[in-house]
Amino acid sequence: MNGIEVDNLGPLKVVHFYFPKTDFRAILVVDNAALGPSIGGVRVSPSVSTEEVMRLARTMTLKNSVTDLHHGGGKAGIIADPKSPHIERYFRLFARQIRDFYDYIPGPDMGSNEESMAWIYDEIGRAVGLPEEMGGLPLDKLGATGFGLAECAEVACPQAGLELRGARVAIQGFGSVGKAAAKFLSDKGATIVAASDTKGTIYSSDGLDVKKLIETKDASQSVIHYKEGTVYKPEDIFSLECDILVPAASPDVINESNVDNIKARLILQGANIPATKSAEEALHKKGVVSVPDFIANAGGVIMAAMEYRRKIEREAFDAIATKIKTNTKLVLERSIKERLLPRQVALEIAQERVLRAMKYRESL
Ligand code: NAD
């Protein structure tokens, strides 16, 4: 249908916005709202496409379902440079256009943050991931997703034949998620041996000092300026020696070109859709445990949903730990028992819940 593929879940809405005076475009996808109003981030990038937003919105449907949040899945894209001097205007214009789409609650994503959510909230009174001053639980500042990844690792390590204490971790993408994952994983005794960003990879078999690495990244814009390590190209992170690999940047980075080089025994999918379907299958065949995105990286949206319900920080962290540990255990145990890919098991659980809710909803 008009180049937009639909299936038994959605998408419910795909909306394009064009603002000729400011010459920017935006996309809104509400994938499914049977479980409640959809929650999903606003991605800002010059290259974000309708297809990407649709795939990300579907991931949110599955993530919000499997984590039992009583929210559907949606996502938005603003096609612009997040560093544009006009960015506040773009957010405000976009917000005014989505005012009446009550089945979509915007949150932060790549290229957006607490400040951008504050602009949207100021316009339409609806957004999550707000600054503390506005009653928000600033999920990136608190490291909600990285915290969840470390909780996930605790349960997944034994399934991959690893001990988290002393495990060597490589993190691809050292932004909000990557930095927080490094902090919470090292708090649990793991050793961060590699981290990367768009400029390159830094590696040390003795381990990187996480505090210093975060300071270096914040001060100089890149991990490669960290002194005590060897610098490699960004893509080299996929072939370095490690036990746990955390992709925490963009989609499809683990693919046919690098999957055979991966040494890790456990992959925690910090980014959304970081591996292609065939790469996930190849990893499974090799015996590598890969915890799917919508199980492992749900920390951010769990915190957002808790903020929406006016819960406090402690309650949000407790909910993240409980939900992610329970789901990781359920999915990995069933995957071993039924000899299915973890993603297949997680998909079945998430879809079943959405389809059950859809039976009660005439228009969804
Ligand atoms: P961010 O913009 O803060 O950080 C992204 C980092 O990845 C940056 O350091 C960037 O330099 C790096 N990067 C980009 N392309 C790269 C490449 N090719 N090689 C190496 N590094 C690269 O974004 P974020 O909020 O940390 O989100 C990262 C991913 O996690 C996204 O896929 C996002 O959808 C997903 N995610 C984020 C959250 C959240 O709470 N922020 C929650 C769930 C999922």
For the segment(s) 144-351, the CATH number from 3.40.50.720, 3.20.20.70, 3.30.2000.10, 3.40.1190.20 is: 3.40.50.720
Calculate the dihedral angle through the C-alpha atoms of 239, 176, 94, 129, rounding to the nearest 10 degrees: 140
Q: What is the 3-state secondary structure (H, E, C) of 95-125?
A: HHHHCCCCCEEEEECCCCCHHHHHHHHHHHC
Element (H, E) at 42: strand 38-44
What is the mean predicted confidence (pLDDT) over 177-201?
A: 98
Distance 80 CA to ligand 1 centre (A): 17
pLDDT at 129: 94
What is the mean predicted confidence (pLDDT) over 165-184?
A: 97
Query: Same CATH topology for 13-59+73-135 and 144-351?
Result: yes
Residue 29, classed as helix, strand or coil, is strand
Distance 245 CA to ligand 1 centre (A): 14
Six token digits for residue 87: 């960015």
Annotated active-site positions, please?
75
Which residue's C-alpha comes closest to atom 31 of ligand 1?
A: 271
Confidence of residue 364 (pLDDT cuts 50, 70, 90): low
Six token digits for residue 346: 């997680």
Tell me, using a 6 A CB cutoff, whether residue 142 lines ligand 1. Answer: no
- Of 325, 343, 210, the C-alpha closest to 272 is 343
- Report the b/e string of 81-106 with b at 16+ CB within 10 A: ebeeeebeebbebbbeebeebebbbb
What is the mean predicted confidence (pLDDT) over 185-198?
A: 98
> Over the stretch 17-66, which tens digit does the pLDDT of each residue have?
999 988 889 999 999 999 999 999 999 999 999 999 999 999 999 999 99
> Over the stretch 266-312, which tens digit does the pLDDT of each residue have?
999 999 899 999 999 999 999 999 999 999 999 999 999 999 999 99
Write down the domain spans for the chain. 13-59+73-135, 144-351
Q: Which CATH architecture has domain 13-59+73-135?
A: 3-Layer(aba) Sandwich (3.40)
Best residue among 198, 223, 240 to mutate for probing ligand 1, ranked by most atoms within 8 Å of CB: 198
Ligand 1 closest atom vs CA 201? 20
d(CA 167, CA 165): 6
pLDDT at position 1 over 60? no
> Over the stretch 66-87, which tens digit does the pLDDT of each residue have?
999 999 999 999 999 999 999 9
Confidence of residue 363 (pLDDT cuts 50, 70, 90): low
Best residue among 59, 250, 267 to mutate for probing ligand 1, ranked by most atoms within 8 Å of CB: 250
Q: Is the pTM of this model over 0.85?
A: yes
Best residue among 197, 222, 273 to mutate for probing ligand 1, ranked by most atoms within 8 Å of CB: 197
Tell me, using a 6 A CB cutoff, whether residue 110 lines ligand 1. Answer: yes
Tell me, using a 6 A CB cutoff, whether residue 174 lines ligand 1. Answer: yes
pLDDT at 232: 98
Tell me, using a 6 A CB cutoff, whether residue 269 lines ligand 1. Answer: no
> Over the stretch 24-33, which tens digit does the pLDDT of each residue have?
899 999 999 9
Phi and psi at residue 191, in whole multiples of 5°? -110, 120
Ligand 1 closest atom vs CA 273? 32
Indicate the residue type of 237. I
Tell me, using a 6 A CB cutoff, whether residue 49 lines ligand 1. Answer: no
